[in-house]
């Protein structure tokens, strides 16, 4: 899977103590020690299959900070149930150039506490806090719950002015918490002329509802889509086109079991239309090695339509190790 690696570089200056990070500049600014991310990542590059990465240059990642006394190295006893010291710090992805190491101040700037025993514990989340993404204490909640959000997190780790975040000391690692699902369609010679694909849907999926920062974790709560999952495709696509067209923008789901049509398994449904006749293909099994869809992987499902059946072929690309699987369904 792709990992977003954030490290923290510091200027070698002193920092005034403060109870609110936003109020830190009570000393001349040149005397303060900012928390300054140094980002090493290839997240803006295309997926392995050549498709465009889903994150864009205008996207931001939020960094959330709690100032507390130094905790054990594994942060096992930490409970970040209270309000964070700051939650408005952002880093714009457009400033990342390939896998280069670029030092960037967070916007707005944040500073380490002057007391070396007071650590700033940072967690991270994408999409950034703002419209449709809110935070209350240690829980980030998403308003949009329809499969359109590629949620990424970085679990909480700590640093101080004398033990700053660096590439060798507690780098923040962002990880995808969803599986990416895309579809392409093909047809065989048995498909009648003028047959149109009108719908592709996934069944029995869960999507991110919220992220809870606690101890050394950033756990995603999954749940049913609110208002229904976005259809993977809805429209009118001629199955007799020469090309094998991609049919959708990606869906982002929280993973689950596949491999059959038992209750709870993720399945695929589709509809085609020829004149006024609509043909429905309902709850067709998706077969993948291990019978699981996992977060952090991109699953490309190619649906091959014949006159009586659809044949899903699944390939894992981009975010994880390439795997393939096939299934023929009536």
Q: What is the predicted pLDDT for the residue at 93?
A: 67
For residue 161, is the peptide bond before it cis, meaning its omega torsion is within 30 degrees of 0? no
pTM of the model: 0.81
Least confident of 7-16, 34-43, 74-83, 92-101: 7-16
Exposure of 205 by Cβ count < 10 A (0-12 exposed, 13-18 middle, 19+ buried)?
buried
Q: What is the pLDDT of residue 16?
A: 36
- For residues 45 and 91, what is the distance between their CA atoms, to the nearest angstrom? 18
Q: Report the C-alpha gap between 90 and 206 in whole angstroms.
A: 28
Residue with tokens 């949620």: 151
Q: What is the mean pLDDT of residues 139-164?
A: 88
What span, in angstroms and rounded, lies between the C-alpha atoms of 165 and 37? 8
| 243 or 103: which leads in pLDDT | 243
The mean-pLDDT minimum among 48-62, 174-188, 274-288, 301-315 falls in 48-62
Q: Is the pLDDT higher at 197 or at 70? A: 197
Mean pLDDT of 227-239: 88
Q: Which of 8-12, 175-179, 233-237 has the lowest mean pLDDT?
A: 8-12
Tokens of 157: 């780790």
Arithmetic mean of pLDDT over the chain: 77
Q: What is the pLDDT of residues 157-198, one digit of tens each?
A: 788 888 877 666 666 777 788 998 988 888 888 888 888 899
pLDDT for residue 52: 53
pLDDT at site 35: 77
Mean pLDDT, range 81-102, rounded to an integer? 72
- Are 283 and 298 within 8 A, CB to CB? no
Distances in Å between the alpha carbon of 138 and those of 22, 80, 110, 141?
A: 18, 6, 19, 10
Sign of the Cα pseudo-torsion (284, 287, 288, 294, in order): positive
Check residue 173 and give its pLDDT. Answer: 73
| Secondary structure element (H or E) that encloses residue 153, with its range | strand 152-159
For residue 169, the 8-state DSSP code is B
Q: 61 pLDDT exceeds 70?
A: yes
Which pLDDT band, with edges at 50, 70 and 90, does 18 fall under?
very low
For 220, 289, 314, 320, the CA distances from 176, given in Å and listed in that order, are 11, 21, 20, 11
Which of 32-41, 123-132, 167-176 is least confident?
32-41
CA nearest to 35, candidates 106, 98, 85? 106
| Domains of the chain in sequence order | 3-176 (no CATH), 179-326 (2.60.40)
Contacts of residue 172, Cβ cutoff 8 Å, sequence gap at least 6: 5, 6, 7, 8, 63, 122, 124, 154, 157, 165
């Amino acid at each position: 899977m792709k990992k977003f690696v954030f490290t923290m570089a510091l200027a070698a200056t002193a920092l005034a103590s403060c109870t609110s990070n936003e109020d830190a500049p009570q000393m001349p600014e040149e005397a303060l020690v900012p928390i300054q991310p140094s980002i090493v990542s290839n997240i803006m590059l295309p997926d392995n299959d050549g498709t465009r990465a889903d994150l864009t240059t205008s996207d931001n990642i939020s960094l959330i900070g709690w100032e507390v006394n130094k905790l054990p190295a594994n942060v096992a006893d930490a409970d970040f149930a209270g309000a964070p010291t700051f939650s408005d710090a952002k880093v714009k992805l457009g400033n990342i150039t390939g896998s280069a190491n670029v030092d960037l101040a967070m916007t707005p700037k944040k500073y380490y506490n002057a007391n070396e025993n007071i650590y700033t514990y940072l967690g991270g989340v994408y999409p950034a806090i703002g419209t449709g993404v809110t935070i209350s204490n240690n829980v980030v909640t998403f308003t949009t719950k329809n499969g359109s959000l590629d949620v990424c997190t970085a679990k909480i780790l700590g640093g101080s002015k004398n033990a700053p975040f660096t590439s060798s000391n507690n780098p923040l690692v962002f990880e995808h918490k969803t599986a990416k699902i895309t579809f392409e369609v093909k047809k065989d010679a048995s498909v009648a002329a003028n047959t149109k694909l009108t719908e592709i849907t996934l069944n029995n999926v869960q999507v991110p509802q919220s992220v809870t920062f606690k101890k050394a974790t950033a756990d995603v709560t999954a749940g049913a889509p609110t208002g229904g999952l976005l259809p993977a495709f809805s429209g009118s696509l001629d199955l007799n086109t020469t090309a094998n067209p991609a049919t959708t923008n990606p869906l982002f789901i929280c993973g689950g079991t596949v491999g059959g049509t038992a209750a709870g398994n993720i399945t695929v449904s589709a509809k085609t239309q020829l004149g006024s006749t609509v043909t429905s293909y309902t709850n067709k099994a998706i077969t993948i090695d291990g019978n699981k869809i996992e977060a952090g992987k991109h699953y490309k499902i190619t649906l091959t339509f014949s006159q009586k059946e659809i044949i899903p072929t699944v390939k894992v690309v981009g975010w994880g190790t390439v795997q393939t699987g096939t299934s023929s369904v009536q």
